Amino acid sequence: MENLISIFVNSVFVGNILLAYFLGMCSYLAVSQNLKTSAGLGVAVIFVLAITTPANWAVYHFLLAPGALSWAGLPEMDLSFLKFILFIAVIAGMVQVVEMVIDRYSQTLYNSLGVFLPLITVNCAILGTSLFMVERRYSFAESVVFGIGSGTGWALAILAMATVMQKLRYADVPEGLQGFGIRMITTGLMAMAFMLFSGITL
Amino acid sequence: MKKTIQRFFETLRPRFEKGGRFQRWYAFYESIETIFFAPGVPTTATPHVRDSLDVKRYMASVVVVLLPLLVFGMYNTGYQSQLASGKTPELLLSFWIGFKAVIPLVIVSYLFGFGWEIVFARIRGHEISEGVFVTAMLFPLTLPPTTPLWQAAMGISFGVVIGKEIFGGTGRNFLNPALAGRAFLYFAYPVQMSGDAVWTVLSGARQTAVDAFSSATPLVVAFEAKTAGAVEEALAEVGYPFWKLFFGLYPDSIGASSTFLCLVGALVLMAIGVASYRIIVGDILGVVLTGAVLNLIATEGSIPYMTMNPLYHLIIGGTAFGIAFMTTDPVSAPDLHPARWIYGFLIGALTVLIRVFNPAFPEGIMLAILFMNVFAPLLDHVVLKFRLRRRIANV
């Protein structure tokens, strides 16, 4: 239990997927001017990460890892080189399913997420979390917590960014820096503040 | 007297206004004139509060409160320097040594801070804001007295340009510029910004301090204390009893050591309404309560630091300075009252947690404040949402 809590805190603050590893930047930079969409996208990312990370865990441990195919009588087989392509396929499939379910049961959420829901497929934070999960040899329970934690960290970062951007509406940014320029600098300054947690070993 | 000065400015003004010969220097002229007279032009953009207190006087009050800290910082720097050379500190000599070490840092900080402000005011056509006076005063006070001058110049430049000017100047930034510059230096030049040796200026030809002198800051001593429940004793053993820590005669950043002067400053700023008492009380509550909770949950095998008396967290390191002058920065703090309480409390709590649990940073308040600066708009937003929900709709 203690282990799970420390993985959660670690993935939200210490190793924040966005501000410590800079994954998932594209949708973060594109969406963060609008607080409502940011919140929606944040929730969607938490949700997608919470299901794709364990799903990829299962795929890896029952199909890809060295010796994983021993249940099929192939203990020598090592398919782990396929993990990139298979992970992204699993993620794409999962996002499709989530999209259909949301479309069926909550039209309002579906409309507010719009194009960003399918775009989650190519959000590097999602694939990155699955790959970290393999690299750090998490167990199944750990991968669930890690997925939720990473998603929460990402959502926290985009929410903070969106509200900072709201405050910066009153800013008077030099012409050359307007738009992406100031957003990149803001993200850098935020990442500096997030260094607060770097060095904590849980 | 007043009439003469007024006439002087009135004859000068047309030359600096639009169409005048020196119109490109208007910002500079304006900043001098408003030292003597409150600006005659009212704020036009909404929202604003009608008050005789303009930005210049608001900021100047902070600088005035910081001056005793600067003087004490100079004395302390010289005092520690003499102790480190194995001499008995003398009052005037201490001042002189400290003066030689500290004043160049302050001058560099003002030169570069003010320089960037003028450059931006000139190019972007905004007024020279007095925010930079406070920033350039706060910044050197947070530095170790041995900081090389070029690094001080780098730090203040980063703070003023990246921390503030690219967002359009005072009032539009989201991080505290002085702290942004300080954090930049901390990560860019860790050798000169951390460790035991940087906090004491060695005078003369001396390369190392005498053996009897402990150059470890109280923060390091407390972190490395071995026995649970005896952190205070460990501090007293190396020469840091409670009252010495409270009054600030120990090696630390130039201006941050004296809790006493920070307390006086905070009280003055609260009394004249410049600093928000909600943030300050929230900060103190955060530090003390978190320290107390750590005391309660500390067991046999846990870090001895956890058992330290929570009050000590307020008097060692830069907590008091940060609480009094950094967290209360009206620009980077949240604006709504409940948000301010939460903001303060979380800064205090994070400071203690980072000190105790993060071996990478002996001091947590700098990054804790920056971290909460990032979340200040979110706190405001959540409080506002909560308030709107409680409102009865369209009655």
Which of A192, A194, A200, A201 to probe by mutation at the B interface, max B CB count within 10 Å?
A192
| Both tokens assigned to A9 | 């805190």
Place of tokens 């506002």: B384
Q: In chain A, whose CA is at the least distance from the CA of B163?
A: A189
Look-up of token digits 């505290």: B176
Least Cα distance to B254 among B98, B94, B89 occurs for B98
A192, B370 in Cβ contact below 8 A? Answer: yes
Chain A residues whose CB is inside 8 A of the B168 CB are: 171-173
Closest-CA residue to B108 (of B150, B67, B77, B163): B150
Write the residue in B166, B187, B370 that is nearest to A177 by C-beta.
B166
Tokens of B341: 């309480």
- B318 neighbors B256 (Cβ within 8 angstroms): yes
Assess contact for B283 and B315: CB atoms under 8 A.
no
**Residue A59: CB atoms within 10 Å:** 20
Residue B180 has pLDDT above 90, yes or no: yes
Judge whether residue B326 has pLDDT over 70: yes
Would you call B377 and A164 a contact, using CB atoms and an 8 Å cutoff? Answer: yes
pLDDT at B72 over 80: yes
CA R_g for chain A: 18
- Say if CB B310 and CB B295 are below 8 A apart: yes
Query: At B288, is the secondary structure helix, strand, or coil?
Result: helix
Q: Does B367 touch chain A (CB under 8 A)?
A: yes
The amino acid sitting at A77 is: M
Instruction: Residue window 36-75, chain B: list those with CB within 8 Å of chain A.
Output: none
Query: What is the band of B56 on the pLDDT scale with cuts at 50, 70, 90?
Result: confident
Q: Is the CB of residue B305 less than 8 Å from the CB of residue B148?
A: no
Q: Which residue of B has its CA nearest to A166?
A: B377
Chain B residues whose beta carbon lies within 8 Å of the beta carbon of residue A201: 359
pTM: predicted TM-score of the whole model, two decimal places: 0.89
Question: pLDDT class for B204, splitting at 50, 70, 90?
Answer: low
Tokens for B283? 């900060």
Q: Which residues have C-beta within 8 Å of that of residue A65, sequence separation ≥ 6? A: A78, A80
**Average pLDDT of span B313-329:** 90
Tokens 């300054």 map to which residue? A189
Where are chain B's structural domains? 55-193, 216-394
Please say whether the beta carbons of B113 and B237 come within 8 A: no
How far does the CA of residue A158 sit from the closest CA of chain B (Å)? 11
d(CA B173, CA B176): 8
Query: Are the beta carbons of A196 and B367 separated by less than 8 Å?
Result: yes
DSSP 3-state of B368: helix
Buried b (16+ CB within 10 A) or exposed e, B172-203: bbbbbbbbbbbbbbbeebeebbbeebbbbbbb
> What is the pLDDT confidence band of residue B70, given thresholds at 50, 70 and 90?
very high
Minimal Cα–Cα distance from B66 to chain A, Å?
25
pLDDT averaged over consecutive 10-residue blocks of chain A (202 residues)?
A: 87 90 87 83 88 92 84 81 90 89 83 77 88 91 94 94 90 87 92 86 70
From chain B, the residues in CB contact with A200 under 8 A are 354, 357-358, 360
Q: Are B184 and B151 in contact (CB under 8 A)?
A: no
Distance (Å) from the C-alpha of residue A199 to the closest C-alpha of chain B? Answer: 5
Tell how far CA B142 is from the center of its chain: 6
Query: Residue B39: what pLDDT?
Result: 67
* Helical packing angle, B149-157 and B91-124, nearest 10°: 40
User: Could you tell me the two tokens for A154?
Assistant: 């990402």
CB atoms within 10 A of CB A57: 22
Return residues 113-142 of B near A (CB < 8 Å). Answer: 124, 126
For residue A196, which residues of chain B lie inside 8 Å, CB to CB?
350, 354, 358, 361, 364, 367-368, 370-371
pLDDT at B52: 67
Closest CA to B254 of B178, B327, B353, B174: B178
For residue A139, give how far its alpha carbon lies from the nearest alpha carbon of chain B (Å).
Answer: 26
Residue keyed to tokens 């009094």: B324
Q: Which helix (H) or strand (E) holds B50?
A: none
Q: Distance between terminal CA atoms of chain A?
A: 13
Select the residue from B46, B123, B166 to test the A interface by mutation, using most A Cβ atoms within 10 A.
B166
Q: Which of residues 14 through 43 in chain A touch B, CB cutoff 8 A?
A: 35
pLDDT at B212: 66
Task: Mutation target for A interface from B371, B379, B381: give the one with most A CBs within 10 A.
Answer: B371
* Closest listed residue to residue A53, CA positions, set A132, A136, A110: A132
Q: Do B350 and A159 touch (CB under 8 A)?
A: no
* Alpha-carbon dihedral angle through residues B384, B387, B393, B394, given to the nearest 10 degrees: -70
Cβ–Cβ contact A170 with B under 8 A:
yes
Phi–psi pair at B171, nearest 5 degrees: 90, -10
* A159: nearest CA partner in chain B: B378
Partner B contacted by A196 (CB < 8 A): yes
Q: What tokens does A111 get?
A: 């409309």
Phi-psi region of B229 (alpha: psi -120 to 50; beta: other; left: phi over 0): left
Contact residues on chain B for A185, CB-CB shorter than 8 A: 162, 166
The span from the CA of B222 to the CA of B194, in Å, is 16
Q: What percent of chain B has pLDDT over 90?
A: 39
Res. B43: pLDDT tops 80: no
Residue B153, CB-side half-sphere exposure with 13 Å CA sphere? 9
Contact state of B162 with A164 under an 8 Å Cβ cutoff = no
Residue of chain B whose alpha carbon sits nearest to that of A173: B167
CA distance A179 to B381: 22
> Out of A168, A196, A198, whose CB is closest to B174?
A168
Is residue B317 within 8 Å of B365, Cβ to Cβ?
yes
Residues 285-344 of B with CB under 8 A from A: none
Q: Cis bond leading into B47, ω under 30°?
A: yes
pLDDT at residue B36 is higher than 90: no
**DSSP secondary structure letters along B196-254:** SGGGSPPPTT--S--TT-----HHHHHHT--STT-HHHHHHHTT--HHHHHHT-SSSST
> For A164, which of B174, B360, B364 is closest by C-beta distance?
B174
**Cα B121 to Cα A39, B117, B126, B127, distances in angstroms:** 37, 6, 5, 6
B168 touches chain A (CB under 8 A): yes
Chain-wide mean pLDDT for chain B?
A: 86
Task: Inform me whether the pLDDT recorded for B41 exceeds 70.
Answer: no
User: What distance in Å separates residue B300's CA from the closest CA in chain A?
Assistant: 18
